[in-house]
């Protein structure tokens, strides 16, 4: 039975990946900060899908948390989903620098270290996959969040091109607005976002697994957002930055 480790697994897109992979017969290692909620999630998945679901409580903004997950990954998994992440309320210039550094630890350092911890065992077996959750925001310019997600895309594309084993795949997942707790936790006002721009977390997880199987280095899992990203590539970067600043998150 294959094993998948998912960070940020108790809510939103991480929980959607957990449901999808459990339904596909994966054993799960679920990672999040809230141990109580993590254990409840693991128990629910076990009883619903009959798969093993282990809870690994870890704060990926702290050294001990990242080290604990690295240790588990070195034992070997078939799929790693680096999903943990968050956003700040307000513009970058209004956010304390220490909070921005914490974001970079979770979005960049943890993704780097966990990916590098998982890949050696995958390469030794000649199979495996890493999905690094980025965002459509990676293709625009709006503070540390979009910058960190742009790093995730670049990092994932670079590794995808460098890993020689054809059945070991690294992919950046770049969804648009997904109906999860993400925006509520960050106190971001989403009232101005049209209903047709929202995506289902379960559909995004399903599209991600299909694109990983196809060997895509970057997945933008919806035709609407594919069009937005495609158009953005032909607009001068300065214009994109100014429009991003006007529109906000």
What pLDDT, on a 0 to 100 scale, did the predictor assign at position 234?
A: 64
Tell which residue, 119, 49, 109, 52, has the closest CA to residue 84.
109
Per-residue pLDDT of the chain (249 residues; tens, 9 = 90+): 899 999 999 999 999 999 999 999 999 999 999 999 999 999 999 999 999 999 999 999 999 999 999 999 999 999 999 999 998 877 778 899 999 999 999 999 999 999 999 999 999 999 999 999 999 999 987 789 999 999 999 999 999 999 999 999 999 999 988 865 554 554 455 555 656 566 899 999 999 999 999 999 999 998 888 888 887 676 666 655 555 555 554
Report the alpha-carbon distance of residue 104 to residue 93 in Å, rounded.
Answer: 15
Question: To which residue do tokens 């976002």 refer?
Answer: 193
Count of other CB atoms within 10 angstroms of residue 160: 18
What pLDDT, on a 0 to 100 scale, did the predictor assign at position 247?
A: 53
Helices (H), the chain: 12-23, 35-49, 63-74, 97-104, 110-125, 143-162, 182-185, 201-214, 223-232, 237-247
What pLDDT, on a 0 to 100 scale, did the predictor assign at position 208?
A: 98
Domain extent listing, the chain: 3-247
Residues 6+ apart with CB under 8 A from 126: 165, 167, 168
What pLDDT, on a 0 to 100 scale, did the predictor assign at position 190?
A: 55
What pLDDT, on a 0 to 100 scale, did the predictor assign at position 187?
A: 46
Helix %, strand %, coil % of the chain (to 5): 55, 15, 30
Active site residues: 145
What pLDDT, on a 0 to 100 scale, did the predictor assign at position 229?
A: 83
What's the Cα-to-Cα distance from 111 to each of 68, 174, 232, rounded to whole Å?
14, 15, 26
What pLDDT, on a 0 to 100 scale, did the predictor assign at position 199?
A: 85
What pLDDT, on a 0 to 100 scale, did the predictor assign at position 249?
A: 43
Q: Which CATH number fits domain 3-247: 2.40.70.10, 3.40.50.720, 3.90.650.10, 3.40.630.10?
A: 3.40.50.720
What pLDDT, on a 0 to 100 scale, did the predictor assign at position 186?
A: 45
């Amino acid at each position: 039975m294959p094993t998948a480790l998912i960070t940020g697994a108790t809510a939103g897109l991480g929980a959607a990946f957990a449901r999808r992979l459990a339904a596909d017969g994966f054993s799960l290692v679920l990672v999040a900060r809230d141990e109580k909620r993590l254990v409840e999630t693991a128990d629910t998945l076990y009883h619903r899908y009959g798969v093993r679901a282990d809870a690994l409580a870890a704060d990926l903004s702290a050294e001990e948390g990242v080290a604990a997950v690295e240790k588990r990954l070195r034992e070997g998994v078939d799929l790693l989903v680096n999903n943990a992440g968050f956003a700040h309320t307000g513009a970058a210039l209004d956010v304390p620098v220490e909070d921005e550094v914490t974001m970079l630890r979770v979005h960049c350092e943890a993704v780097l270290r966990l990916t590098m911890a998982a890949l050696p065992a995958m390469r030794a077996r000649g199979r495996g996959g890493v999905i690094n959750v980025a965002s459509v925001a990676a293709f625009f310019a709006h503070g540390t969040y979009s910058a960190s997600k742009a790093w995730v895309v670049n990092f994932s594309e670079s590794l995808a091109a460098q890993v020689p084993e054809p059945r070991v795949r690294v992919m950046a997942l770049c969804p648009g607005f997904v109906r999860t707790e993400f925006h509520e936790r960050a106190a971001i006002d989403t009232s101005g976002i049209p209903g047709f721009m929202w995506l289902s977390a379960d559909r995004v997880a399903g599209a991600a697994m299909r694109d990983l199987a196809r060997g895509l280095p970057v997945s933008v899992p919806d035709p609407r957002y594919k069009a937005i990203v495609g158009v953005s590539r032909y607009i001068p970067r300065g214009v994109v930055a100014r429009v991003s600043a006007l529109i906000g998150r």
